[in-house]
Each structure stands twice: as structure tokens, then as C-alpha cells.
Amino acid sequence: MQTGYPAGGRPAEPLRTLLFLVILVSILSMVPVTQAREPAWNYSPPVGELGGVAISPMGDLIAVGAGKVLFFSRDGTVLAQEPFGTDVRMTADGKYTASVYASSVYYFENPLPAGSPDQQKATKLWDIELSEQVRSFDMNRDGSLIAGQTLGRDLFVLNTKTRTAGGNTRVTDPVIKISESGIVGISEGKIHTYSTGGNLIRTEDVTTNSAPRFLVIPSGSSVVFSDGQAVRRVNTYNGTERWKREVGGAVSALSMTPGGSRIVAGTETGNIAGFDINGNLVWSYSSNPDNRQSAGITCCAVSDTGTTTVAGTADGKILVLDSRGELTESSAAREYIRNIAISADGTVVVAASDERMYVFSPVSSSSLPAATPLPAFTAAPVKNTTSPSPAQSPLSAPSLQATTVAPPAGLPTTWSVIPAATRSPPALITLPVSLALAVLIA
């Protein structure tokens, strides 16, 4: 009987090797590739810590709180530095930025990155000093209202159009959020709705297992919030629960697209889940399958269309997921990522630890240039011509008149910005299963 084997009854060794390599290459070609990315540029302040970050809708302007408010262009050039800020919010059109520093709130007209040298400067429109230090704050999309809490959890509300201030010292909420639909606060067992002047409009009872930590407002009639290991949506008019979804760990981050078509939650165990407005699970991703300690999700953000989700982790990873919740790339910062933002169009991502800010473009976009060193920024120190404005109560501040506040001691008035790409680990390809299959087939 003719077997097709050469003498000896076995295939020739070169033929077996070639067959093995063909099978291996074929399998590997079907394995999705997750890219490890180096940032286009990064920035570390000479002293102090980085705070919140914000980004314009097309990614051409980045604001970061670092004692001062620093405005960067897309390529890392410093356009302006303004006192003061530890946290920042930017309007949806990228024209205005609000910042907080200690007990003060500042409001700026943003630089125009593509404008003339004079247009590439920020303008402080006003500032106001509250009676207590600011604990947290939020701003609606058009920048007409700013709302937040003091350390005593008193509500303050600032109208940026009329330049008037209001507040509420009778009701306290762990979380305050503002949207086009209004101002909502939530506490353990209560949902409060406030007017644009800070007056309490409505209180509804809601059963919770723990004090909510995160809150987003998809519509005028409902809110979505964290409740321990669950994400819940309830009606703000009667407290009725619309849906509740368990996410496999304590919720540690919550974000959504405008209108809530995509709601993204991260957990302390490293899980990320994407839901639609009706609470249906669209996708899920585990960034910590080995259940390592201190590797949970610390922050997340989603592009306006919901096609790109980004998240930071406690062990320093920056993750980029597509519309199916699949990891398309990652960057290893090896530092606790506290804040993350993505431009509305999904072309630019900004992540920040306490010490460094990382800026890069997702793999589907090529909007950022390669990193190049930039000269030190040595603008002349800001001269103060008036004394600090007197403290004002959130309830009695008559107007938001622009003032110049003396810098706190030790805060530098010049900054060095030296963007430099940091090394990331080599590209990651999932090989073990493919290799095992290749060996078995061979």
C-alpha cells in the first residue's frame, strides 16, 4: 500500500516544520492585537500635585489644575497659566473653564489654540470666595450654572450669566450633580431637587443600601447613581426604581454620554460595564482577572457617541475600550490614576496621577503628533494690584465681581513644561491559547 511517506514511514522533517509554521501563523493572524501605547507627551509640575483635567470637544485644548490652571494645546505647548485651581470643568463647546482652589471659584474664557497670539491667552472673567473650602463642584454643559458643596456639605450655586450666588445650608447631600435639567443631590434614603438659586424644590424617599458615591443625570425625570455593588436608575419625581444592575464589586467610577445613551461603571475589583439607558448590559470587561489587590478602576470617561471608553486603575493602567467593550490599547503609567478625560469626538485622551499627566490619541485616531521637547515656559509673574476679596457667604454673595487674589505662599509663578514620551511595555498579544492549539494541531 502506498502511503505517500518517504522511506522510513514518516514525513520529511522540513515538511513537518513548514506545516507547523503555516498553522501557527494562521492562528496568530486571527488573534486580536492589543497595543501598548506610549503617550504623545506628558507633563509633571515642578512642585505640588496635579488635580482635575478637562478637554475641549475636539481635543485641541486641555486644562489641568496644578495649583494654577494650565492650558495646553494639543501638542503640549503651554498657552496660558492662570491662578488658581486644583480641579477644573470645561464647557461642552470648549470656550469656558471653571476652577476651584481652597474656598474660591474662578471662571475663565479659554485661549483659542488656533488664534492669534493675543487670542491664545486665557481671560479671567470673575472669581468669588465662599465662606468655606470647596469640597466638590460641577458645571452644566453650557457653563451657565456652577453648583457644588463646601466642606460642611452646604450647597452653593453660581449663575455665571447674572453673576449671582445662592445656596442652601439646611440640606446636605454626599453627592451634588448639575445638568441641563437642573440640580440634584442624593443621600442615603433621599433624593433632593434644587432650583437654580439653590432652593429645595422636591424631596423623594429612595431605599439605598449605602450612601451613594457617584451620580449622573441622564434626563430631567431620572438619575443614575451607585449603591454599593449596584448601579440604579430612579425617578426623581416619586423615587420609583426603573432598574438596578449588579456590577460585581463596589462601584468606584461612573460616567455617561450626554443624554445617557451609554452609562459606564467601574468597580474596585477591576470590572467595567456598559449599559444602555434602559439598563441593558451592552458589554463588560475585566481589567483584573487575577483579583489582585489595589488594581481596581479609579476613574472612567466615555466619548459623546459612546464609541470609546477610557478608564484608569489604581495600579497605573490607562485602558481604552471600543464600542463592544473590547480592549484596543493600554498604557502602563505605574502610578495611581486619579483623573481621566476624553474629548467629545474620542480623538484625545488625558489621564493624570498625582505627579504626571499623560496625553495620547487612541489607535483609531492620529490626531496627536510625536512627542518633541518644548522650551521652558517663563511668563512674567502675575502682579497683584488689589487685596484679596472679602469672604462671602454662599447665600448672601450679591455678585461675582472679578478680583485679583494674591498667590498663596510657595506657589510658583513660572512653570517648566517638558513633554517627553515615557516608555511603555511592548505590544501585548494573547499567545498561550494560540500556541497550545498550534502544538496540538501540529
- Beta bridge mates, 99: 88, 106
Domain enclosing residue 50, as ranges: 43-129+370-419
* CB-CB contact of 322 with 329 (8 Å): no
Supply the pLDDT for residue 2.
Answer: 44
Domain count, the chain: 1
Q: Is 159 part of a structural domain of the chain?
A: no
Supply the pLDDT for residue 128.
Answer: 96
DSSP 437: H
Please give the Cα distance from 300 to 298 (Å, whole number). 7
Q: Is 265 part of a structural domain of the chain?
A: no
Distant-in-sequence, close-in-space partners of 72: CB < 8 Å, separation ≥ 6: 43, 61, 62, 63, 64, 78, 79, 359, 417
Supply the pLDDT for residue 36.
Answer: 73
Q: Is 381 part of a structural domain of the chain?
A: yes
**β-pairing, 327-332 with 33-36?**
parallel
* CB-CB contact of 165 with 173 (8 Å): no
Please give the Cα distance from 29 to 33 (Å, whole number). 9
Cell of 12: 520529511
Q: Is 298 part of a structural domain of the chain?
A: no
Classify each residue of 374-405 as buried b or exposed e, where b means 16 or more C-beta atoms within 10 Å of its C-beta. Answer: beebeeeebeeeeeeeeebebbebeebeebeb
Please give the Cα distance from 400 to 427 (Å, whole number). 51
Please give the Cα distance from 398 to 152 (Å, whole number). 21
Q: Is 214 part of a structural domain of the chain?
A: no
Cell of 411: 506657589
Among residues 144, 72, 11, 26, the alpha carbon closest in space to that of 357 is found at 72
Among residues 250, 208, 205, 241, the alpha carbon closest in space to that of 223 is found at 241
| Residue 127 one-letter amino acid | D
Helix boundaries (H) for 143-278 = none
Q: Is 276 part of a structural domain of the chain?
A: no
Please give the Cα distance from 208 to 229 (Å, whole number). 11
SS3 state of residue 442? coil
Q: Is 383 part of a structural domain of the chain?
A: yes
Burial of 64 (0-12, 13-18, 19+ CB in 10 A): buried
Q: pLDDT in tens for each of the 442 residues of the chain?
A: 444 444 445 545 666 665 556 555 454 444 444 567 789 999 999 988 999 999 999 999 999 999 999 999 999 999 999 999 999 999 999 999 999 999 999 999 999 999 999 999 999 999 999 999 999 999 999 999 999 999 998 999 999 999 999 999 999 998 999 988 889 999 999 999 999 999 999 999 999 999 999 999 999 899 999 999 999 999 999 999 999 999 999 999 999 999 999 999 999 999 999 999 999 999 999 999 999 999 999 999 999 999 999 999 999 999 999 999 999 999 998 899 999 999 999 999 999 999 999 999 987 554 444 333 333 333 333 333 333 333 333 343 433 444 433 333 333 323 333 333 333 333 343 444 444 544 454 4
Q: Is 71 part of a structural domain of the chain?
A: yes
Supply the pLDDT for residue 181.
Answer: 80
Cell of 37: 501605547
